[in-house]
Structure 1
Amino acid sequence: MLDCDNVPTEIVEHALRMGAQFGRVVVRRGYGNHATLSNKWQDVLVRQAFTPCLQYQYASGKNTADIALALEALEALFDGRADTFCLVTSDSDFSYLCRKLRERGATVCIVGEPKTPDALRNACDQFFEWDRSAKEASEDGEAVEPETPKTGAAKEEISRTDGKPLPKRRPLFLVEAVTLLAGDASEGKVRLDALGQYLKRTDPSFSPNLYGHSGLLNMVKTYDLLTTQREETGGWSVGLAPKTSTATQSS
């Protein structure tokens, strides 16, 4: 649930990635007033398949959108449509809503900016911070891994999709996904099929072919920051590569 009056549009993709680790994001709604939803939020909500929830301000200074968000969150809990909630806001006014949802057995996570007050951070089960200044993007807006390829030739490798050559790319969101999913696992790794399902939940159009790779395993193997392991029970798992100290590298 997006508090469109309180957060920037750029936070949405990060919020979807954070929320997808809990399962399918089935209720997508963005709340705001006419001035908010008629501007750039309109394009984002349409593109990301969110239902816009327009709330007019009946009096100056009254935020009816916040009340609508809170009421519909409780309604979704009580009628059994959801038991996990992801609120995208930095507004501490939602602290009480978080506490009430958790008292009823729901899991609540918050995606907010660094300015988010402690009252809201501590009221949820998990807080995910989004920092605009920390986001690195390429010219087309895609975050890319800053690490250099293992070999110069690897950077120049291409594959073909629909007869057209595509350069092999290594988007940073794949490393972020493994970090998120493997970080909560005792073994420090995530199964490849589970990683693929998570990537599909965050972006239904995701395909390794779009980044020049024939499959997800081949794509993962091009990352210096990731390791793969063949499991005895079958299938593959993915984890973060151990960091090598400067002293070890120089020896």
Structure 2
Amino acid sequence: MAHDKLAVLIDADNARPAIVEGLLAEVAKYGTAHVKRIYGDWTKPDLSGWKEVLLRHSIQPIQQFRYTVGKNATDSAMIIDAMDLLYAGRFDGFCIVSSDSDFTRLASRIRESGQTVYGFGEKKTPEPFRTACDKFIYTEVLAGIAETETAAAPKQRSAKELRGDTRLMNLLRGALEAASDDTGWASLGTIGNIISKQSPDFDSRNYGYAKLSGLIKGIGLFDTEERQIGNGKHLYVRPRESRK
């Protein structure tokens, strides 16, 4: 996966310069960004904060004038470019950076072509766009967000808070049951894959844990075991038996 060729398309009207460093670090986990473009009306002063960030990270600004008040021409330009890149057949996946639901159909169309879609947006992003992606990452968890901004990085939740989150617990238990063998143990990697397919916006960082393994250990209801398989170590998980 690390060798996948990715196209990163950013909606400047619905993203902030402070997330870029964390964004590109996250993108690097999934592949190499061969195209980095950002769309907006650069004649408007509200986008001036992007200039230094774009130069530093070699992101190409695409100018799109706002022809009519209330109409988002940026979205149209970004969608047209995405389709051109898709038809070129040079990429394995797309990273769409926006909190706008207008990109829902685009994400679905790219996935229909067998390519992976990574969405990036704030927690206010409408559910249709989040679920249209293979994986959706909330920009609040990305490094580089200033403390003065309204969206602060999530704080680590306590075991009590995690256990009280019905959606989280059902998701984890369901994935563990689906991935477990006859002894009740399941590979953490398999659990993570199942959860991602069921809930594209799931991310352990939303709960204040850097990795899924930390989140599972933080809940305190599961046993974990590290196993040597081949040249690497793999973590296995099973429900903790109740102790009388």
Shorter-chain TM-score category? 0.5 to 0.7
How far apart, in 2, do the equivalents of 1:22 and 1:137 lie?
25
Shift of 1:93: 0.7
1:196-215 pair list within 5 angstroms: none
Counterpart-to-counterpart distance in 2, 1:132 and 1:8: 13
Match of 1:10 among 13, 18, 21: 18
Equivalent residue for 1:209?
none
What's the TM-score once normalised by structure 2's chain length? 0.55
Q: Does 1:79 align with 2:88?
A: yes
Q: Report how far residue 18 of structure 1 moved.
A: 2.0
Verify the 8 A CA contact 1:37 1:54 in the aligned structure 2: no
TM-fit CA distance, 1:82 = 1.4
Q: Tell whether the 8 Å contact from 2:18 to 2:145 is kept in structure 1 after alignment.
A: no
Confirm or deny: 8 A CA contact 2:103 2:129 kept in the other structure. Answer: yes
Structure 1 residues 83-98: aligned runs within 5 Å: 83-98=92-107
**Aligned partners of 1:48 and 1:184: how far apart in 2?**
34
Letter in 2 for 1:9: P
With over 3 angstroms needed to count, the CA separation of the structure-2 counterparts of 1:58 and 1:23, relative to structure 1, is same
Structure 1 distance, partners of 2:188, 2:61, is 33
Higher helix share: 2
CA contact (8 A) 1:2 1:30 kept: yes
Which residue matches 2:30? Answer: 22
- What residue identity is the alignment partner of 1:97? L
Task: Give per-residue Cα distances to partners, 1:165-224, cap 9 Å, x unaligned.
Answer: xxxxxxxxxxxxxxxxxx974599xxxxxxxxxxxxxxxxxxxxxxxxxxxxxxxxxxxx
Distance 2:146 2:96 in 1: 25
Kindly report which structure 2 residues correspond to 1:175-194, keeping only aligned pairs within 5 A, or say none.
185=189
Consecutive unaligned residues of structure 2, counting only runs of 5 or more, are: 1-8, 148-186, 193-226, 236-244
Deviation at 1:129, TM superposition (A): 1.0
Q: Which residue of 2 aligns with 1:207?
A: none
Distance in 2 (CA, whole Å) between partners of 1:32 and 1:238 is: 46
1:120 aligns to 2:134 (yes or no): no
Deviations 1:130-150 (A, max 9, x none): 217997879xxxxxxxxxxxx
Identity of aligned residues (%): 38
Return 5+ residue gaps in structure 1 as ranges: 139-182, 189-228, 241-251
Distance 1:137 1:10, change over 3 A: closer
Q: Determine which of 56, 68, 74 is the counterpart of 2:77.
A: 68
Opposite residue 85 of structure 2, the aligned amino acid is A
The one-character-per-residue Cα deviations of 1:90-110 (angstroms, maximum 9, x if unpaired) are: 101100110111111111010
Question: Aligned partner of 1:45: which letter?
Answer: L
Shift of 1:231: 9.0
1:131 maps onto 2:140 in alignment: yes
Q: Measured at CA, do residues 238 and 43 of structure 1 come closer, stay the same or move farther in structure 2, by a change above 3 Å?
A: farther
* 3-state DSSP of counterpart to 1:60: coil
Aligned equivalents of 1:36, 1:97: Cα separation in 2:
28
> Are residues 118 and 76 of structure 1, via their aligned partners in 2, closer, same or farther at CA, if it must alter by over 3 Å?
same
SS of the residue corresponding to residue 72 of structure 1 reads: helix
How many angstroms apart in 1 are the aligned matches of 2:143 and 2:124?
14
Query: CA shift at 1:81, angstroms?
Result: 2.2
8 Å CA contact 1:110–1:126 kept in 2: the answer is yes
Task: Give the alignment's TM-score, normalised by structure 1.
Answer: 0.54
Query: 1:88 is aligned with what amino acid?
Result: V
